[in-house]
Structure 1
Amino acid sequence: MSIGFLRQALNTLQKQSRSRTSHRVNQWFKWLSPGLSIKRWLLISVGGVLLASLGLAIWIKLTPIFWLIELLRGFLGVITDILPNYISGPLVLLGGLLLLLWGQTRTVGSITKVLRPEGQGGQEELIDVLLAHRRLYRGPKIVVIGGGTGLSNLLRGLKTYSANITAIVTVADDGGSSGRLRQEFGVLPPGDIRNCLAALADEEKLLTELFQYRFRAGDGLTGHSFGNLFLTAMSDITGDLERAVAASSRVLAVRGQVLPATLSDVRLWAELADGRRIEGESNIPKADGKIVKIGCIPSNPPALPAAIKALKEADYIIIGPGSLYTSLIPNLLVPEIADAIAATKVPRIYVCNIMTQPGETQGYSVADHISAIDNACGHRRLFDAVLVHKKSPSAQTLLRYAQQNSHPVFLDREAVSLLGRRIVPANILYEDEIGFVRHNPQKLARVLLRWYSGAHHGR
């Protein structure tokens, strides 16, 4: 019985050893993957060693090298007398290769300890990090336009496919912590930008908790989020919100960039069907009326030059998801942004909301959402396709939303086709534990990238 147990233990150890060896060999071969710029520099290094040796030989007229070669030949002659060359040669070659691999492994291990200290990055190997970095920074240049939680939710999914992401964010928010900071300090509202920075950060979970933390006590602090105060302080230090966001992105290791649509102090207004004119982003949904026209003060705010540059260089433009009149359209009320989108020939898609929003889009269909965007931009087509969720939420969730006068956005296929848009149906719904409906970040990003690949190759 003990012999059988020992045999079983030895077999297990042998399998584990083979598994570890196989993994290690696989990791070594990854260093030869195309695109890492490793092989060329390794060959150049070898060439440099050979060239330096040749130069040394010429400089000292070969005499010491001649005697060194003679000594080496005598030593090799002794070895071959003891062991035939067909045995001693492979053994020496194998020993050299093992020393080389051991040295390279220890070198890479030392570099990894410096670049990725224990507890910062888990067990991921340096080569895997380099390959992922290379893949992400070769991803398409994606520009996403919107605001609110819908935009930050999308960014969480997109950042796993590309690091070349630009989020253009509305600065029309005037409610909550952002609104108070806007009034007290005269800064542009940082709330939506804060959410996007957290979503694109490498350490997203911890940073999101930190940035979303709201003070529950303290004179003047109650209700403010840490992220809003952080960006307000950075704006004061750097001079404006654009520099503040850029500096914050470096500090927080953000994958991509977040840009305000404009640096103007924009204030939204809406005309309702009953003749009322409502001013202020936070007041529009509370008015509980049908919006017939929307605009901003000043009427033609200048766009941030970096945002226009990103749109001109984009491979792919995504509008939404987010509140139609208070998150998406405010960006498009900046004429230069709408003009830049209209002028591009790259794939452009609109991600429609799953549910209608009380005070903004009660009773709206998919075609109504599209028409509202077209009308706000001078009746122009800023996107080619619309992504729509296929399945309805659960009965319990529908009941919960119905109590707030919110319902699934109806897909009126014929009306959408008449507006000249392609329909991209997909199952991208996520229902959280308390019954809130969201887009699933990973599923949404996967569908968007799949559609982009098809649209890009079809052009």
Structure 2
Amino acid sequence: MHKLSSRHKKTTPRVNQWFKWLSPGLFIKRWLLISASGLAIAVLGVAIWVKLTPIYRLLEFVSGLLENITTILPNYISGPLAIGAGLFLVFWGQSRTVGSISEVFKVDQEEVLVDMLLNRRRLNRGPKIVTIGGGTGLSTLLRGLKQYSSNITAIVTVADDGGSSGRLRREIGVLPPGDLRNCLAALADEEKLLTELFQYRFRAGDGLIGHSFGNLFLTAMSEITGDLEQAVAASSQVLAIRGKVLPATLSDVRLWAEFEDGRIIEGESNIPQAGGKIVNLGCIPANPPALPAAIKAIREADYIIIGPGSLYTSIIPNLLVPEISQAIAEANVPRIYVCNIMTQPGETEGYTVADHIRAIDRISNQKLFDAVLVHKKPPSPQSLQKYALENSHPVFVDREDVGNLGRRIVLANVMDEDEETGYVRHNSNRLAKVLLRWYTGKWQPKISIAGKIVKKFER
């Protein structure tokens, strides 16, 4: 009895896989039916061409054979046997065909080909999502969103001038590839391996020390293809990523920030180190032209997500491209801003959620989003103490001020805390899940403040 039950458990998944090929949306059944119809028509054409003589003889032979079989075995036995044999050959041939295709395409043993095709169809039908930002925050978001849609376009800042990207920018004259590299790795199917490869930094070699492999890869592709846009497009095909990664502009922009004390600091990497309160941000050259593909993606988007990321060095630099800000403002689709969990020393010290919104509104001179996603629960006391030593604190949710700015608040638990280091980050999967739930309208009104609805999610 035990052997029978274990055998049933082994065969049931295989039978389920066979029936999955009949699932709607795979576009398999219609093509099989068309192929069978074409074969039947071709056979009929051959029969007509040769004046049907072979068909008559074949029918006579089959008729005689069936008559002889039914004299030996009754029709109630021979009929079911023939049906069973035919179905066995169909399923056996189908399974061998699928196995051969899986072997050619090197499908993972743990992932059946039909499951891979169903998942690919589901992702291809996902909403057209445009994300805007840079740094690790954007790559974290993309890592979660790619589980829901393949129609993702990440618009990334190219204002970075520090580290490996800054060196390549100064020495070779290419646009900084660092943030683009992180986004490409996050959208790739083999994300873990590719991230390790792209983040690998050389520890020896004249001129190589400190450079990441991903930055050198994109720099080489830029030299081969002619510009960074083509380099990223070619890399996307090579890496088989889900979606697109686009630079906000192909201009060689350099950030400057004006501080409350009148100082003007140039350079993205220098701004957080200057200390003080930022009152204005701009770039040289001013009003750089947008990448046309980025504008097209925004205009065709079903959903626009801004952030998360450093406010003044990752998010707002994209909005310094006037065409991008204007396209976002004109978009008649859901638009949401993902606020940071903690304030950032040198950029947003003492900022509340409303302060983040005011900074974006002030520099873009228009309203770019309808709602703001804010993390709900504070980090642990140990983490708060560690951040306090760096003059960083949780971003305070000033609900009434946010409501007066005409934004809805989406409260959600979307944080991960590293137990060893105490640092906090957005959780990719929870963040993406909340954002997609808000997009599809599956949230419940919790409380009303200043006439604005506050939405609340529980983990």
TM-score band (shorter)? over 0.9
Task: Name the SS of the counterpart of 1:444 in structure 2.
Answer: helix
Task: Tell me the CA shift for residue 21 of structure 1.
Answer: 2.0
Task: Tell me the CA shift for residue 64 of structure 1.
Answer: 2.1
2:359 matched to 1:372? yes
Q: What's the CA shift string for 1:131-171, capped at 9, x where partnerless?
A: 01101111111000000000001100001100111100001
Task: Tell me the CA shift for residue 434 of structure 1.
Answer: 1.6
2:117 matched to 1:127? no
Aligned equivalent of 1:74, options 59, 64, 68: 64
**1:69 aligned partner, one-letter code:** L
Which residue number corresponds to residue 215 of structure 2?
228
How do 1:37-56 and structure 2 match up within 5 A?
A: 37-56=27-46
**1:56 aligned partner, one-letter code:** V
Which residue number corresponds to residue 417 of structure 2?
431
Aligned equivalent of 1:355, options 342, 350, 360: 342
**1:305 aligned partner, one-letter code:** P
Q: What's the CA shift string for 1:189-239, capped at 9, x where partnerless?
A: 111111101111111101101111111222111111111111111111111
**CA distance, structure 2, for counterparts of residue 52 and residue 239 of structure 1:** 51
**CA distance, structure 1, for counterparts of residue 414 and residue 29 of structure 2:** 42
Conserved? CA contact 1:140–1:162, under 8 Å: yes
**CA distance, structure 1, for counterparts of residue 360 and residue 59 of structure 2:** 80
How do 1:175-190 and structure 2 match up within 5 A?
A: 175-190=162-177
Task: Name the SS of the counterpart of 2:337 in structure 1.
Answer: strand
Q: What's the CA shift string for 1:272-315, capped at 9, x where partnerless?
A: 11111111111111011000111111111000001001001101
Which residue number corresponds to residue 4 of structure 1?
none
**CA distance, structure 1, for counterparts of residue 258 and residue 138 of structure 2:** 26
Which residue number corresponds to residue 378 of structure 2?
392
Aligned equivalent of 2:398, options 399, 412, 418: 412
Unaligned runs of 5+ in 1: 1-10
Conserved? CA contact 1:141–1:315, under 8 Å: yes
2:310 matched to 1:323? yes
How do 1:13-28 and structure 2 match up within 5 A?
A: 13-28=3-18
Conserved? CA contact 1:270–1:291, under 8 Å: yes
**1:347 aligned partner, one-letter code:** P
**2:359 aligned partner, one-letter code:** A
2:244 matched to 1:257? yes
Conserved? CA contact 1:347–1:455, under 8 Å: no
What's the % identity of the aligned pairs?
74
Task: Name the SS of the counterpart of 2:441 in structure 1.
Answer: helix
**2:182 aligned partner, one-letter code:** N
**1:87 aligned partner, one-letter code:** I
Which residue number corresponds to residue 7 of structure 1?
none
Conserved? CA contact 1:272–1:290, under 8 Å: yes
Conserved? CA contact 1:175–1:281, under 8 Å: yes
**1:141 aligned partner, one-letter code:** K
**Number of aligned positions between the proteins:** 443
Aligned equivalent of 1:383, options 343, 352, 369: 369
**CA distance, structure 1, for counterparts of residue 428 and residue 109 of structure 2:** 23
Task: Name the SS of the counterpart of 2:205 in structure 1.
Answer: coil
Task: Name the SS of the counterpart of 1:214 in structure 2.
Answer: coil
Which residue number corresponds to residue 82 of structure 2?
92
2:130 matched to 1:140? no
Q: What's the CA shift string for 1:410-447, capped at 9, x where partnerless?
A: 00000000000010000000012321110000000000
Aligned equivalent of 1:337, options 324, 327, 330: 324
**CA distance, structure 2, for counterparts of residue 390 and residue 267 of structure 1:** 35
**CA distance, structure 2, for counterparts of residue 122 and residue 32 of structure 1:** 21
**CA distance, structure 1, for counterparts of residue 11 and residue 38 of structure 2:** 32
**CA distance, structure 1, for counterparts of residue 111 and residue 290 of structure 2:** 41
2:142 matched to 1:152? no
Q: In terms of mean alpha carbon deviation, does 93-102 or 50-59 score higher? A: 50-59
Conserved? CA contact 1:269–1:281, under 8 Å: yes
Task: Tell me the CA shift for residue 48 of structure 1.
Answer: 1.3
**CA distance, structure 2, for counterparts of residue 122 and residue 295 of structure 1:** 52
2:388 matched to 1:402? yes
Which residue number corresponds to residue 453 of structure 2?
none
2:96 matched to 1:106? yes
**1:436 aligned partner, one-letter code:** Y
Which residue number corresponds to residue 59 of structure 1?
49
Q: In terms of mean alpha carbon deviation, does 107-116 or 11-20 score higher? A: 11-20
**1:194 aligned partner, one-letter code:** R
**1:109 aligned partner, one-letter code:** G
Conserved? CA contact 1:316–1:452, under 8 Å: yes
**CA distance, structure 1, for counterparts of residue 43 and residue 185 of structure 2:** 53
Which residue number corresponds to residue 446 of structure 2?
none
Q: In terms of mean alpha carbon deviation, does 21-30 or 258-267 score higher? A: 21-30
**CA distance, structure 2, for counterparts of residue 63 and residue 189 of structure 1:** 75
Q: TM-score, normalised by structure 1?
A: 0.95
